[in-house]
Amino acid sequence: MTEKKEPHIAQKAPYAVELEAGKKYFWCACGQSKNQPFCDGSHKGTGFSPTAFTAEKTETVFLCGCKHTANKPYCDGTHKTL
């Protein structure tokens, strides 16, 4: 059995990003992307996969930067305990 690695903590704060209604996004789950908080393919070979989601409306949201949220891809405050 392979042990699941912990994601890299990109930052201990959320990313405030403007999303566009109906657009599909890929949130970086591994923490290695150079295009945070979005995936740039850096997860290849890490066992992590990005989280795909579609914005329901055009708005500013807070996407998780620590990669430990239970509400992927959105920040749930977990970074405060790391």
pLDDT in tens, 29-54: 999 999 999 999 999 999 999 999 99
- CA distances to 3, 9, 64 from 52, rounded to whole Å, are 24, 19, 14
Confidence label for 3 from pLDDT (cuts 50, 70 and 90): low
pLDDT value, residue 22: 98
pLDDT of 79 strictly over 50: yes
Helices (H), the chain: none
Percent of the chain clearing pLDDT 90 (strictly above): 94
C-beta neighbour count of 7 within 10 angstroms? 19
pTM of the model: 0.92
Cα torsion through 22, 20, 59, 15, rounded to 10: 120
